[in-house]
Chains A and B, each alone.
Chain A
């Protein structure tokens, strides 16, 4: 495509416009350069892509349905709403798409061990699952605060044979888990691959994660064309680091008629400072290897993100999203904790689907958006994960008895 935005990034230096790059210690540079070469070779090797395809179909359960949410559509009284059911994947979220892809890549590179970070535990569980399947040794770093909040996912990872390491430094959440995973990788780089879980980090990670998650958007595009005979008017996805969103958006980026909406977590409200909306309330900076929008103070110290959903609780936004924001291709908006809780209940009540708190941000935004659109307009929402993991949090937030 001559004027393709989608294919223009990243550059060979790993830049998305001014964003991205490779801001890592020298010890990791050779590993990143090797990873890039190995990844390019793998994606051009039919044996590899067929193996990936096989596991996505037979093990993950793809393709996932594009479900017409008729009851929700009626309730909102506006555009037709379709849900891309990533919650129906094995392990309950889109994270497995990338985890399987990268675990196969690790194996192909001859690595015996895998390290990963996790916030809520979804990426940790997906990675632990892929490593159990492919017989790779796995260690997952998780902030001590998140371990407290997500005991069941910790146990799940342990059942899968993964070693979960508690991170006691800094804010003891996802960003500190990434720090710890990077340190572990620096120390064990000879035999270990780092499976980064979001469209973040140093090049080539944002590209690898995007490409492994693109299956979401590729399927959606075919499915909506088959069902409606046209492309959607709007596509909505929640954004923490941005893996489900970039996977969903990327195949639509060059379709000018399709509006793309990225929904950040506004936590208690952008104005309170307690949020995770780096695009709405952050400045340009470097963390974990990439130049991106970042929550930080005037001294360049990284600030903690706040969101009811642990999966959106990260102080930066992936470099490709920053770029798509800067060129005006994706519109970013935000949804508060309480709006997300309403979105979650709305989908439970109307469709009998319990969405993850992360995905509930996209649902809540869609509820607002649909009402502003015509009844023959179409919105597709990425329902990135199921909400079983969040029942405890939701019950507490809604004032239920926690004993």
Chain B
């Protein structure tokens, strides 16, 4: 299985942009996790961000929060998600990135969590409430198991801080494109060009844009600034409404740069 960074760089070589959908694990029942992941990889996504429901998701907007509440009502937990992933690990061909708040990881136990991630084929981890200052413990525990710790950079991060985060992040740098929480936006700030130019200059690894990207047009415009995009709320909504055409259109937009689909 290839690493996260390799997967993103393959799309680059093909002249395209990475496309990473976010799903809320267990929204619609934990039994939907396998078919959802297999369907997404068939569509040609670069990697998949697997969200874990939490009682207090402070970085998320209403769409993902409500999906999380539905998953919590189904009894979904971090442990159950990792066990479910392990049950069909052989069929997973794209790198998986787990997105979870920190407290479920602490309750799991860092070392036990790392082992369960390995068993589930997880390649990367995003913990939105662990900023650079608190992130060392995650790298120390998970790096020995081959799991990347992905750090977020925001529009409010000053240049010197951007450099430090870009140097510390692994797999890719997650560039938050808005001041705010996850969820669809109709417009973005005007100075994103400079921000992304600075960020890509400071990074030796790919830079992916996320937060607020919900339409094929935004996939193209944000993709042009970066090495690829992460789409969350729009995917969560489309899966909830069983609207696969919408997801296909979003993935297709990321391949419009070369005109050729991403093959994996």
Binding site for B on A (CB under 8 A): 13, 21-31, 169-170, 175-176, 179, 182-183, 186-190, 283-289, 294, 296-302
Contact between A29 and B131, CB atoms less than 8 A apart = yes
B 146-157 binary contact with A (CB < 8 Å = 1; else 0) = 000001111111
Point out the residue from B56, B102, B180 that lies within 8 Å of A187, measured CB to CB. B180
Q: Contacts of B87 on A, CB cut-off 8 Å?
A: none
Contact between A31 and B156, CB atoms less than 8 A apart = yes
Residue of A nearest to B79 (CB): A299
Q: Contacts of A299 on B, CB cut-off 8 Å?
A: 77-79, 104, 107-108
Contact between A25 and B107, CB atoms less than 8 A apart = no
A368 to B154, alpha carbons, bound, how many Å? 52
Is B9 interfacial (CB 8 A cutoff)? no
Q: Contacts of A187 on B, CB cut-off 8 Å?
A: 179-181
Q: Which of B57, B152, B156, B161 has the most C-beta atoms of chain A within 10 angstroms of its own C-beta?
A: B156
Contact between A286 and B55, CB atoms less than 8 A apart = no
Contact between A179 and B179, CB atoms less than 8 A apart = no
Is B241 interfacial (CB 8 A cutoff)? no
Known: A190-B179, A296-B103, A299-B78. A25 touches B129 (CB 8 A): yes
Q: Contacts of A26 on B, CB cut-off 8 Å?
A: 131-132, 151-154, 156-157, 165, 176
Query: B224 to chain A: closest CB distance in Å?
Result: 23
> Interface of chain A, helix or strand or loop or mixed?
mixed
Is B54 interfacial (CB 8 A cutoff)? yes
Contact between B56 and A179, CB atoms less than 8 A apart = yes
Query: A219 to chain B: closest CB distance in Å?
Result: 35
Q: Which 8 residue pairs across A and B have the least CB separation, nearest first?
A: A300-B107, A300-B104, A187-B180, A27-B154, A299-B77, A300-B103, A26-B152, A30-B156
A297 to B65, alpha carbons, bound, how many Å? 19
Query: B175 to chain A: closest CB distance in Å?
Result: 10
Q: Tell me how many residues of B have a C-beta within 8 Å of chain A.
A: 43
Known contacts A27-B155, A286-B103, then 8 further A-B pairs from the complex at CB < 8 Å, ordered by chain A residue: A26-B151, A27-B180, A31-B156, A186-B180, A296-B103, A300-B103, A301-B72, A301-B77
A296 to B55, alpha carbons, bound, how many Å? 10
Q: Contacts of A27 on B, CB cut-off 8 Å?
A: 154-156, 176, 179-180
Q: Contacts of A28 on B, CB cut-off 8 Å?
A: 156
Q: 30 A-B contacts, Cβ less than 8 Å apart?
A: A21-B134, A22-B131, A22-B133, A23-B102, A23-B130, A24-B58, A26-B132, A26-B157, A26-B176, A29-B131, A30-B156, A30-B161, A170-B56, A170-B69, A183-B58, A183-B59, A186-B180, A187-B181, A189-B179, A283-B107, A286-B101, A286-B102, A289-B129, A296-B103, A299-B77, A300-B104, A301-B55, A301-B103, A301-B104, A302-B56
Q: Contacts of B58 on A, CB cut-off 8 Å?
A: 24-25, 179, 182-183, 186, 288
Contact between B179 and A186, CB atoms less than 8 A apart = yes
A300 to B161, alpha carbons, bound, how many Å? 31
Is B128 interfacial (CB 8 A cutoff)? yes
